[in-house]
Amino acid sequence: MDKTVNQRAWFLVLPVFLVVAFSAILPLMTVVNYSMQDTFGNNQFFWNGVGWFKELLDPSTDLGGRFLASLGRNLLFSAIILAIEVPLGIVVALSMPRQGWTVAACLVILALPLLIPWNVVGTIWQIFGRPDIGLLGYTLNGLGMDYNYVSNEFDAWATVVVMDVWHWTSLVALLCYAGLKSIPDAYYQAAQIDGASRWAVFKAIQLPKMNRVLLIAVLLRFMDSFMIYTEPFVVTGGGPGNSTTFVSIELVKIALGQFDLGKAAALSLVYNLIILIVCWIFYTVMTNAGAERPVKQGAA
Amino acid sequence: MEHIAWMAWTLPTAIFFVMLALTLGVMTWLAVAWPEAERIGVLRIPTTRGDRLFISLVLAAVIHLLWIAFAGTDPIATLPIGEGVELSSLWLATVISLLSAVAIFRSV
């Protein structure tokens, strides 16, 4: 092969490794220990082997049913918000001005939702959507729609989805805008000479150039929505029933509500594994996308 | 031992983490003693030994979870130690994981 890699520099990472050991690795080891045991408090633990994992992966048990249902809801939620936020973000980025004072104004307005803390976003929408005093809820009911996110599952989902779109589309738009800004004018001039249509310019120039930022946007939005907790917790509290209970809400209920440390540890390890795998796939695709290199077989 | 009581250590999890630490130690030593270059295998992505270890470990976790979910953990044999130690079928998942790790190190 062409080059060998000297790995000695990794020793310089040692101080960070020590910090991470105390803040992440030791707690994670503890979670692994908890997942194999049962406890009734007072630091007394009883060996349970893979019992919690068995329960967690069996849909007929209470724990397994709750986990798999919340996982399904979470994946559906992520799919919906990605399907809305990514195209919407691209459209917003494309319609933003390229120069003049309006650029700064647009950027500030777009950045506003991103600066609001999660629980405040939740509170805003919780009040906004109330049928008695909220502007949105009151208006919708005034228009004859029977909107109530506390009692109707569809309304609760719609509220949580619209809230996430309101909160995070800006992020996708800003990332896409940065990608668009990096396209040199020469590309557009060449397209103009060729008489390319607006759609052709988008497909052949803008979309390929936004490829990498879009991957980052999809990764960030997927991870964030897959781990979402605060906003739906504040707005719907996971209800009505369990209809908006996502995995992290279920996890907190089990760990801190019921204080079932073993069950919660098993759930969080599987949850962690899913996130780790998805992150790794995204990261690998991102770092290898566009890096055209000759494919070499074999040779260690 | 009082000050680590909150970590709720057990012998099996301790053995697991010691083996994990040993593996990482050996990999680090290998990387220093025999620096290597990336190569491209069946996944069409450049990987180092560390990448292949990571893929093997994650795959092992997935294999064990799938085994617990679909094959169960019934005992398959009894070892003649003391009053007899029952061997869970989960060890088959461990064997499959080890074989897949060998395959990954050779071909990915």
Residues of B in contact with A29 (CB under 8 A): 7, 13, 17
pLDDT in tens, A122-139: 999 999 999 889 999 999
User: Residue A50: its pLDDT value, please?
Assistant: 87
Taking CA B54 as the corner, what is the angle to CA B48 and CA B60, rounded to the nearest 5 degrees?
135
Report how far residue A113's alpha carbon sits from residue B96's, in angstroms, rounded to the nearest whole number.
Answer: 49
Residues of A in contact with B65 (CB under 8 A): 53, 57, 270, 273
Q: Which of A37, A49, A300 sits opposite B8 (nearest CB)?
A: A37
Q: Bridge partners of B71?
A: none
Q: What is the mean pLDDT of residues A247-258?
A: 90
Report how far residue A17's alpha carbon sits from residue A200's, in angstroms, rounded to the nearest whole number.
Answer: 49
Nearest to A238 by CA among A226, A249, A254: A249
Is the confidence at residue A300, as pLDDT, over 70?
no
> How crowded is residue A147: how many other Cβ atoms within 10 Å of its Cβ?
21
User: Residue A211: its pLDDT value, please?
Assistant: 83
- Say which DSSP state A36 is in: T
Give the start-to-end residue ranges of the domains of chain A: 51-287
Nearest to A212 by CA among A145, A270, A283: A283
pLDDT in tens, A30-42: 999 999 998 887 7
User: Residue A299: its pLDDT value, please?
Assistant: 42
Q: How much of chain A, in percent, has pLDDT values that exceed 90?
A: 47
The conformational region for residue A219 under phi > 0 = left, psi -120 to 50 = alpha, else beta, is: alpha
Q: Which residues of chain B have pLDDT under 70?
A: 1
Report how far residue A81's alpha carbon sits from residue A165's, in angstroms, rounded to the nearest whole number.
Answer: 7
User: Residue A90: its pLDDT value, please?
Assistant: 93
Could you write out the three-class secondary structure of A191-254?
A: HHHCCCCHHHHHHHHHHHHHHHHHHHHHHHHHHHHHCCCHHHHHHCCCCCCCCCCCHHHHHHHH
Residues of A in contact with B61 (CB under 8 A): 273
Q: How confident is the model at residue A238 (pLDDT cuts 50, 70, 90)?
A: confident
**Top-tier CATH class for A51-287:** mainly alpha
Nearest to A222 by CA among A267, A273, A164: A164
Q: Which residues of A touch B (CB under 8 A)?
A: 1-8, 10, 26, 29-30, 32-34, 36-37, 39, 43, 45, 47, 49-50, 53-54, 57-58, 270, 273, 276-277, 280, 284, 288, 293, 295-300
Is the confidence at residue A161, as pLDDT, over 90?
yes
Is B3 within 8 Å of chain A by CB?
no
User: Residue B71: its pLDDT value, please?
Assistant: 87
User: Residue B74: its pLDDT value, please?
Assistant: 83
User: Residue A294: its pLDDT value, please?
Assistant: 47
Is the confidence at residue A296, as pLDDT, over 70?
no
Structure tokens at A155: 């309304």
Nearest CA in chain B to A294: B40
Taking CA A169 as the corner, what is the angle to CA A168 and CA A170, rounded to the nearest 5 degrees?
85
CB A40 within 8 Å of CB A271: no
User: Residue A297: its pLDDT value, please?
Assistant: 47
A242 — phi, psi (to 5°)?
A: -115, 15
Nearest CA distance, B35 vs chain A (angstrom):
6
Q: What is the mean pLDDT of residues A171-179?
A: 93
Q: Which of B7, B8, B61 sits opposite A273 (nearest CB)?
A: B61
Q: Which of B5, B17, B35 sits opposite A5 (nearest CB)?
A: B35
Nearest to B64 by CA among A24, A56, A252: A56
- B:55-94 residues touching chain A, CB 8 A cutoff: 58, 61-62, 65, 68-69, 72-73, 88, 90
User: Residue A158: its pLDDT value, please?
Assistant: 93
Is B4 within 8 Å of chain A by CB?
no
Indicate the average pLDDT of chain A: 88
CB A176 within 8 Å of CB A90: yes
pLDDT in tens, A182-217: 888 888 889 989 888 888 888 888 888 888 888 889
pLDDT in tens, A45-76: 888 888 899 889 988 999 999 999 999 999 99
Is B45 within 8 Å of chain A by CB?
yes
Contact call for B31 and A7, based on CB within 8 A: yes
Could you write out the three-class secondary structure of A114-150?
A: HHCCHHHHHHHHHHHCCCCCCHHHHHHHHCCCCCCCC
